[in-house]
Amino acid sequence: MFTTLKSAGMQSVHLFADQRSGLEALVAIHSTRLGPALGGCRYQPYASFDQALQDALRLAQGMSHKAALAGLPFGGGKAVILRAPHIDNRASLFEAFGRCIESLRGGYITSVDSGTGSADMDCVAQQTRYVTATSQAGDPSPLTAMGVLEGIRAAAAERLGSASLNGVRVALQGLGSVGYALAEMLVAEGAEVMAGDIDEGRVQLAVEELGIRALAAAAVSEAPCDIFAPCALGGVLDATVIDNLRCAVVAGAANNQLQHAADAERLLARGILYAPDYVINAGGLLHVALGWQGRSASEIAAQVMQIGPRLTDLFVESRAEARTPLAIAERRAAALLAD
Ligand code: NAD
């Protein structure tokens, strides 16, 4: 266990069990170097404890990097509640989880992730103030979309020679909370938006409401366009997909877009500019983190607008060094997190 923690550069891991509610949970804290560790709580079944631990460690480290590059005074952490086949009372499970978070005295602030929602965070909030993304805090998706739009502008300026999105062809994968809001913003900028989603109702709605062009969900990544914006699942970019891309830029909201870190090199080799996912999609994190600090909506929006200049900076350094924007982002995060 200690070898695993050391090799992941992890600060601490906390295990919790609550007899009454049946809670079994772990909290991984990657770093509190810049501030309290912030990160979501997953609630899902795992084949083994080891798998749950690995998931938490990987995600906690990702959160440290994301917060550091977003300029936030927060570190990275992640919680996992092991989902039992049957649970009597979901509210009491999350209240018990809230007591566990409270026992960490502010070292970790929890939030939503796969399998949890704002109603669960409301239960956590009955036991601790170290929780974000409650129903009172509001949906982070519009600010995530706004940050992605700023990132797309920066990428367009770098690769297409102008930050104007008028007439720029954007292929959007996924029209969920973020994708739909982004489509709306892109259309307002005069972009030529085409999109696909496995939920055909979402596509139909966007065609009718926004006038976008419909694509088959499986065809989005191969559509000829200027910008491919993955806003659905993670892991969409592997060697085969990258070979078949017909775009100049990949810039979207989805988390963990690359199957492997080496895929960033593949994109560079094909001359495709990649906006690192955890930099471009930090708007949601800014919303929950700064909202938790009690900052005003206009202050938060101003921070989200910085995502564009931050990416421009990465792109310039990446071009100067002929390295991937991801490599530059990783180097910057490591420097910010170094003791
Ligand atoms: P969502 O669940 O609301 O939307 C996802 C959409 O993708 C759904 O409409 C779904 O039908 C569609 N989809 C699923 N598989 C698909 C496929 N193979 N092809 C095309 N469409 C497919 O999720 P969201 O909140 O909009 O988030 C989208 C992505 O952005 C996720 O990867 C999420 O982790 C990431 N993200 C979201 C936020 C946020 O604030 N919501 C913040 C940061 C990152």
Give the pLDDT confidence of 92-130 residue by residue, as tens digits: 999 999 999 999 999 999 999 989 999 999 999 999 999
**Marked catalytic residue, from 65, 78, 202, 332:** 78
**Six-digit token pair at 327?**
């490599």
Q: What is the pLDDT of residue 269?
A: 97
Residue matched to tokens 């999105």? 165
The three-class DSSP label of residue 337 is helix
Residues 214 and 306 occupy one common structural domain? yes
Domain count, the chain: 2
Q: Count how many residues are written for the chain.
A: 339
* Distance of CA 254 from the midpoint of ligand 1 (Å): 6
CATH of the domain at 83: 3.40.50.10860
Does residue 130 lie in a domain region? no
The percentage of residues in the chain with a pLDDT greater than 90, rounded to a whole number, is: 91
Residues 117 and 240 occupy one common structural domain? no
Does residue 33 lie in a domain region? yes
Does residue 167 lie in a domain region? yes
**Using the 8-state DSSP alphabet, how is residue 219 labeled?**
G
**168: containing domain:** 141-337
How far apart (Å, rounded) are the C-alpha atoms in residues 273 and 293? Answer: 34
The three-class DSSP label of residue 274 is strand
Does residue 228 lie in a domain region? yes
Residues 51 and 168 occupy one common structural domain? no
Residues 328 and 239 occupy one common structural domain? yes
Q: What is the pLDDT of residue 177?
A: 92
Residues 107 and 177 occupy one common structural domain? no
Residues 202 and 301 occupy one common structural domain? yes
Residues 148 and 94 occupy one common structural domain? no
The response to whether residue 117 sits with its C-beta less than 6 Å from ligand 1 reads no
How far apart (Å, rounded) are the C-alpha atoms in residues 292 and 109? Answer: 9
Q: Is 6 labeled as catalytic in the residue annotation?
A: no
CATH of the domain at 224: 3.40.50.720
Contacts for 192 with CB less than 8 Å, ≥ 6 apart: 167, 168, 169, 170, 213
Residues 178 and 301 occupy one common structural domain? yes
Whether the per-residue pLDDT at 87 is higher than 90: the answer is: no
Which band of pLDDT confidence, cut at 50, 70 and 90, is reported for residue 7? confident
How far apart (Å, rounded) are the C-alpha atoms in residues 334 and 61? Answer: 11
Residues 152 and 93 occupy one common structural domain? no
How far apart (Å, rounded) are the C-alpha atoms in residues 66 and 291? Answer: 17
Give nearest CA residue, ligand 1 atom 31: 254
Contact between 264 and 192 under an 8 Å Cβ cutoff? The reply is no
Q: Give the ligand 1 atom nearest the CA of 282.
A: 43
Q: What is the rounded average pLDDT of the residues 50-72?
A: 94
Residues 115 and 152 occupy one common structural domain? no
Does residue 298 lie in a domain region? yes
The response to whether residue 286 sits with its C-beta less than 6 Å from ligand 1 reads no
178 is in an annotated binding site: yes
138 is in an annotated binding site: no
Give nearest CA residue, ligand 1 atom 39: 141
Residues 172 and 286 occupy one common structural domain? yes
What dihedral do alpha carbons 84, 90, 93, 95 form, nearest 10°?
A: 160
Residue matched to tokens 């607008």? 305
Residues 102 and 229 occupy one common structural domain? no
